[in-house]
Amino acid sequence: MPLFTLGINHTTAPVRLRERLAISAERIKPALHGLVGLANVQEAAILSTCNRTEWYCNLETPSNDLQIMNWLSEFHNCNSQDIQPHLYRYCDQEAVKHTLRVACGLDSMVLGEPQILGQLKSAYQDANHAGTLGRHLSRLFQHAFSAAKQIRTETDIGANPVSVAFAAVNLAKQIYGNLNTCTVLLVGAGETMELAARHLSRAGIKRMLIANRSLEKAENLARKFSAQAISLTEISQVLHQADIVITSTASPLPILGKGLVESALKQRKHRPIFMLDIAVPRDIEEEVAELRDVYLYTIDDLHAVIQDNLQSRRDAAVQADVLIDVRVEQFMRWLRAQDAVGTIRAYRDRADRYRRDSLERTRRMIEQGKPADEAIEYLAHTLTNRLIHDATNAMNQAGQEGREELLNAARELLKLDDENTHE
């Protein structure tokens, strides 16, 4: 049964098109049922995120994607010619490899990011709840989850931060070690600061202050992390309490000057402050770096760290791809073995039928007073003959026709050594 993946992502399409093909949580189930309602689709799963939408299918027979493309156009009410150039397609082994690479974060916008694994697990659960998963896709997803766990454990693909917010918190950890007792002042309430707040919260920060020009925005962000919201004008009153200061505003002029920071250091009795300015233009005056007991870093310092970490992840990605190739071959061996399942089942069923027939005849012989030895001999002789009859006839016919390849296959299947074949 062919595996087939159709998809669109951040490398193949602009955001306006990705938005058009994205599938909301409410529409996932109808979409899944629509897919498996197609004549050739046996199983289906859908992954839809801000950066990609992918349709995973197990098809009854190999075919082109025209049927799925027509369904896709109809479901999203769009022209197939508009989206077709932006789609990628993978079949069988390539589909397996792509799924594993997605699960491991190797196909993500941010190399090695872990969020995609959780999103793929949600896609698996959605398909499972919708009843559109079968043996093949279920096994593929489980295999992908296992591969992702192995690669996270055995490589450094996710070891180093590659986002500004995460790198900022990681740098704070290097300076302070345990952050549990630190007080953090965040200046700004945008997306980057929300990410920083999330990472800080996970790192164990107990007290967080959020300052912003709009107090309402500061309060909205503060509520998410049990933090305290203040206005920019109140910074001078609390700066001395902060062990860590991270700034990211759109202010055209510095918000924290040398004099203000110097005053805060005196109140702190010169306990050090870690300050990180990730704004452009800068929020903290350059001269602040001249003060003792201040560790001031800028966005350029972080970018250097991030680039080093990205290179580390690229190196790890090379290792990960080697592991993925091994995992793909493991899955393909399992997949190929499924083709033999029907044959094996039929062979075992026939052998079991012969066993039951021979056993029933043997029981009747004993009931009729035949000696046990004679009945056992009959059972062994009859069962053996019936089990080998068809294969023996086929090998005899192959020998007469000179079909050496069939005889060689028989020797391999029946595990006959050279001594047995020459008796």
Among this protein's residues, is 91 annotated catalytic?
Answer: no
Q: Which residue has the tokens 């974060």?
A: 105
- Single-letter amino acid, residue 191: E
CB atoms within 10 A of CB 92: 16
Structure tokens at 141: 């997803």
Structure tokens at 200: 């800080």
In 3D space, the residue among 294, 313, 315 whose CA is nearest the CA of residue 305 turns out to be 313
Eight-state DSSP code of residue 7: E
CB atoms within 10 A of CB 91: 14
- Single-letter amino acid, residue 50: C
E runs forming strands in 109-236: 183-187, 207-212, 228-231
Question: How far apart, in whole angstroms, are the C-alpha atoms of residue 293 and residue 272?
Answer: 4
Catalytic residue among 50, 78, 91, 182: 50
* Beta pairing, strands 183-187 & 294-298: unpaired
Structure tokens at 404: 């050496």
Cα angle 258, 229, 260 (rounded to 5 degrees) comes to 10
* Beta pairing, strands 244-247 & 183-187: parallel
Eight-state DSSP code of residue 181: T
Consecutive H or E run containing 410: helix 404-414
Question: How far apart, in whole angstroms, are the C-alpha atoms of residue 110 and residue 93?
Answer: 25
Is-contact 225 202, C-beta < 8 A?
A: no
* Beta pairing, strands 88-91 & 3-9: antiparallel
- Count of helices and strands (H, E) across the chain: 16, 10
The residues with which 234 forms a beta bridge, in sequence order, are none
Catalytic residues, which ones? 50
